[in-house]
Structure 1
Amino acid sequence: MKSIKPVIISGREVHPIIEGGKGVAVSNGRSAGAFAKAGCVGTFSGVNPDSYDEDGNPIPQVYKNKTRKERFEELIAYAIEGGIAQARIAYEGSDGRGRIHMNTLWEAGGTERVIHGVLEGAKGLIHGVTCGAGMPYKMAEIAAQYNVYYYPIVSSMRAFRALWKRSYSKHSALLGGVVYEDPWKAGGHNGLSNAERYDEPQDPYPRVAEIRKFMNSVGLNDVPIIMAGGVWYLRDWEEWLDNPEIGPVAFQFGSRPLLTQESPIPDSWKQRLLNLKEGDVTLNKYSPTGFYSSQLNNDFLRELGDRAARQVPFARKPTDELTGEVKVGARGRSIFVPADKQADVEGWIAAGYTEGMRTPDDTMIFVDPDRAQEILADQAGCMGCLSACAFSNWADNEENTTGRLADPRSFCIQKTLQDIAHGGSVENNLAFAGHNAFKFADDPLFQSGRNGQFPTVAQLVDQILTGN
C-alpha cells in the first residue's frame, strides 16, 4: 500500500479524508468536529440542520403559517439558525484542527439565502462550502464575499467546464477542490445526465482523469480532486495515489461515518445498515427533485413502486386508443383507459385501491383512500424545501409554481427525511445510502456495533489511513 499523503484543503494541510455531507440532519456539527479534530475535513449539512433548545434537545421544525410562501420563510429561518448552531458545535469540537465545511444543495429551496445567512452568522467558523445537486454557478461569487473556499460537486468534466467558463474562472483562488461524485455509486441524489444509463455504471478513473486534464489546461494543477461515491477502503484506490493523471486527490467518505459514535442517526437505522446485502441499495427516480437517487430498498420504496405500477393512460371521454370504461371514486365517474388495461384497473379498485389520482403525464394512479388522503395533505402542507418540487408543484419563483400538476407518484421529501433522522421508521421512510453500504456487514471495524459498541470517528480515521 502506497503512503497516504496529506493534501491542502481550504488553506490547511490535512489527511486526504473528507466526511461526506448528508442532509437532513445526518451529518452534523458533532460528527464534523470529530473529523476535523482527527486532522481531516468535517462536513455538516446545511440542508435543514437541527437547532437546539436550552436543554440541548433538537427543536422540531413545525410549520405554523397557512400559505406556502409564509412556510417557505419559516424553512429558511430554521435552516439559517440550524446551520449557525452546527457550525459552532463543529468548530468547538475540532479543537482548532482540520477544516470545517458546510454541505449545501443548489436545488434546495432558498439555498442562496441560507448560505448567506449561515456564513454571515458563523463568520470564521466555516472554511469551505460544498455544493451539488444542480449547477451552482453563483457559488464562487458567494464564497468570495465571505473569503471561504468552495467545492462544486460534479459528475463529469463537461459539468465542471461549464461552471469554470461561466463563473469559477473569475474566483479561481478560492476554488478549494472539485468533488467528483460517482453517479452510480454515491448515496442520495445523483448527477446522471440524460445521455447516461442508470443501469450501465462507468469506471470513475477515466472520467476523473478527464476532469484533471481540463483542470491542468486552465492552471488548476494543484487544486485537488475529491473522489466521492463508492469509496470504502483506500487500498482499492491505490492506483490513484501519486498518479499524474489524477493529480492531488482526496477521498470523501459518506457511508462509513454513519456507524460511528458521533453519527446522529438512530440506532435502529445503524443496525439496519449493519445487515444490508449487496443490491439492497438501488437507483430510482421517484424523488420530487427529478434526479435519480440511491436509497435503501425498503417498504417505503416498494410502496412507491407499487403506486407507479398501478398507473394507466386515461381520458374523460373515449378516444381511438382509450375505449375501456371504468367507474372511479365515490361518485362513480367514468374514465376511459386502454381496453387491455380495463380488467387491471377494475382489479385494483376491487382490491381497495379505489382512489384515482391524476398525474402530470395524463395518466392516473390508483391508491387506497388513506394513501390518497396522506398524499393530498402532504401536498397541501408544502413548505418549499426544493427550488422546484414535482410532488407539490412548488417552485421558488414569482408564481411559486412549476406550472405543472402536482405529481402523486412522488412524496414529500422534507417530511420523510426529518422523520427518519429523528427516530422514525427505517422501513417506512426514505433511507439514503451508498451502494457499497452492504460492506458494513463484513467490515471488521463495525462488528462490535451489533452489541452497540460503534467506533469513534477517530478510530475510523486511523483505520482508513491503514488502507483498510
Structure 2
Amino acid sequence: MFKGLHPIRYGKREVWPLIEGGKGIAASDHMSAGAWAAANGIGTISAVNADSYDENGQIIPQIYHAKTRPERHKELVQYAINGAVDQVKRAYDIASGKGAININVLWEMGGSQTILKEVLEQTKGLVTGITCGAGMPYKLSEIAAHYQVYYLPIVSSGRAFHALWKRAYSKVPEFLAAVVYEDPWLAGGHNGLSNAEDPLLPQHPYERVLNLRKVMRAAGIPDSTPIVMAGGVWHLEEWNDWIDNPELGAIAFQFGTRPLVTQESPVSLAWKKRLMQLDEGDVLLHRFSPTGFYSSAVKNTFLRNLEGRSERQIAFSVKETGDHTCLLDAGVNSRASFWVTDSDLQRARQWVADGFTTALRTPDGTLVFVTTEEMRIIRKDQADCMGCLSQCNFSSWSESSEKGTTGRIADPRSFCIQKTLQDIAHSDEIENNLMFSGHSGYRFKTDPFYANNFIPTVQQLIDRILTGK
C-alpha cells in the first residue's frame, strides 16, 4: 500500500479514499461501480439515463414514441428512473457488502430532482451518497437529508462552494460527506469553468484546493471532511505532498478516465483501444456542448466537424449598417436580407463553392455554413428533442418554461448530446460521436501497466493504484 494512504470511514464501513468518477450515459454502470465497491472503494453509478434491462437481461433501447417534447420528456424521466434503480440494485449485489455505492447526477439534466428522489425512494439502504455537479444544486442537501444519504457536491472553486453553503448546505451540515474539487482544465466531461477564468490558462490545482479548504474552514467544516481531488489523478505518488498535509486537510482521490479501460467497463473495446492510443494534447477543452458548459473530449471527427462548423461563421445585420454593406447572396434564399462585410461575402461564396451550401442562423446574430446533409441532420435532431437537459442550447428546449422553450433561436453550432452519448455507449462508432476523456488520457500509452494493450480488472487497477504507481 502507498505510504500515507489510509482507509476512511464512509457510511457504515471503512473504505479506501478512492472514488470512481461518475461518467454519464451508460459509461458508469453496475459492473464497474459494483466491482469498484467490491475492491473496497467507492463505486459510482451514473443516474443520467442509465440502461435498464428486460427479463432476459438485454438492454432496453430508449426509444421515444410521443409526438411532443413535453411527452417525450416524461418518457425520458421514466427511462432514467428505471435505469438508475436497476443499476444500483445490480451494483449493490456485485459489491457483496464491501465498499460503498454512490450515484452521480447532473443537476442540469432534465427532470434531475424528480429522478433523484424516485431513485432514492426505490433503493433505500443501497445508496450511500450522491455526487452532483453541472450546475448549482442548492436542493441537493435537502434531498439527501430527506432520504438519509450523504451528499458530495462537485465544484471547481471555493467561490462556488461558498455560494452553495451559504444558501443551502449550512442547514444540513451533518450529511456533507466530502466536497469534490473537479479541476476544469484536467477533468473529462463537463467542467465548471467560469466566465472569469481563461480556458487557455490553467491554474494549479493545489492553490485552488487550498482556497476551497479555507472556505470550508471559515464555514466551520472540520478538516476531517475530505476534499476529493478529481481530474488529472493518475499515480498517487505524484500527489504525495497532498496526503497527510495539514494545510489541505483530509484528501481523497477520484478516478474518472482510468476506470474506462477495465474489463468491467461497459464502453466498447474500440473506445478503450482509442484511449490507449492517445497522445498528449488529443483531448480538447471546448464549448460546443448544448449545456453551455465547457467540456473535455477526444479530438475525433465529431469534434473536428464542430470546430469547422463554427469556423465557417460570419456576423450579419438585417439592414445595411456600418461595414455591413454587402447583401449576402450565398447560402440563403433570395427573400432573405442579410447584410455582411465584403470580406465575409467572399468567404461565404467560397464556402458555398466548397459544398457548404446552407446558411443557418445562430442565437448570436451570426450565420454558419453547412452541407445540405448536415442541415437535414441538425433539423431532425432538433425536432426529435426529448428534453434531456433542463434547458438546451441546441434545440431551445426549456423544462421550466410553460411553452417548453428558451425563447432563443436553436443553435446549430451545437449537437444533440443525448443522441451521441447513447450511440457511443451502445456501439463501436467512436469517430463520429462525442467521446469524453480526461486530459491525462494520453498516459495510457506511456504507463507500463498497460503495456501490450493490457486491460486490467477493476481489482487489478485498484491494487495498482494502491502501490502509488
TM-score, length-scaled by structure 1 = 0.97
Equivalent position amino acid for 2:162 in 1: R
Asked whether 1:421 is paired with 2:422, we answer no
1:409-466 CA-partner distances (Å, limit 9, x unpaired): 0000000000001114111000110000000001222224x3xx52100000000000
CA distance in 2, matches of 1:80, 1:344: 48
CA distance in 2, matches of 1:154, 1:9: 20
Aligned 8 A contact 1:9 1:177 in 2: no
Aligned to 1:189: 190
Gap regions ≥5 residues in structure 2: none
CA distance in 1, matches of 2:333, 2:348: 17
CA distance in 1, matches of 2:278, 2:11: 35
5 Å-filtered alignment, 1:232-251, equals: 232-251=234-253
**DSSP 3-state at the match of 2:459:** helix
CA distance in 2, matches of 1:419, 1:389: 19
CA distance in 1, matches of 2:335, 2:278: 45
Aligned 8 A contact 1:102 1:130 in 2: yes
CA distance in 1, matches of 2:318, 2:207: 52
Asked whether 1:15 is paired with 2:16, we answer yes
**DSSP 3-state at the match of 1:239:** coil
1:144-200 CA-partner distances (Å, limit 9, x unpaired): 111000000001111111111111111111111000000100000100111110011
Asked whether 1:366 is paired with 2:369, we answer yes
Aligned 8 A contact 1:262 1:457 in 2: yes
Aligned to 1:218: 219
Equivalent position amino acid for 1:296 in 2: V
CA distance in 2, matches of 1:10, 1:341: 61
Aligned to 1:410: 414
CA distance in 1, matches of 2:330, 2:428: 34
Aligned to 1:274: 276
Deviation at 1:330, TM superposition (A): 7.5
5 Å-filtered alignment, 1:204-215, equals: 204-215=205-216
CA distance in 2, matches of 1:333, 1:8: 68
**DSSP 3-state at the match of 2:241:** helix
Aligned 8 A contact 1:101 1:127 in 2: yes
- Give the ranges of 4+ consecutive aligned residues of structure 1 lying more than 6 Å apart after TM superposition: none
Aligned to 1:147: 148
Aligned to 1:324: 326
How many residue pairs get matched?
465
**DSSP 3-state at the match of 2:116:** helix
CA distance in 2, matches of 1:436, 1:186: 8
Aligned 8 A contact 1:14 1:40 in 2: yes
Aligned to 1:375: 378
5 Å-filtered alignment, 1:5-404, equals: 5-221=6-222, 222-329=224-331, 331-334=333-336, 335-397=338-400, 398-404=402-408
Aligned 8 A contact 2:228 2:253 in 1: yes
Equivalent position amino acid for 1:377 in 2: K
Aligned 8 A contact 1:213 1:245 in 2: no
**DSSP 3-state at the match of 1:400:** coil
Aligned 8 A contact 2:331 2:348 in 1: no
Aligned 8 A contact 1:7 1:249 in 2: no
CA distance in 2, matches of 1:369, 1:424: 26
CA distance in 2, matches of 1:329, 1:2: 64
Deviation at 1:316, TM superposition (A): 4.0
RMSD: 1.2
Equivalent position amino acid for 2:249 in 1: G
Deviation at 1:327, TM superposition (A): 2.2
Deviation at 1:220, TM superposition (A): 1.9
Distance 1:3 1:379, change over 3 A: same
Equivalent position amino acid for 2:158 in 1: M
Aligned 8 A contact 2:64 2:72 in 1: yes
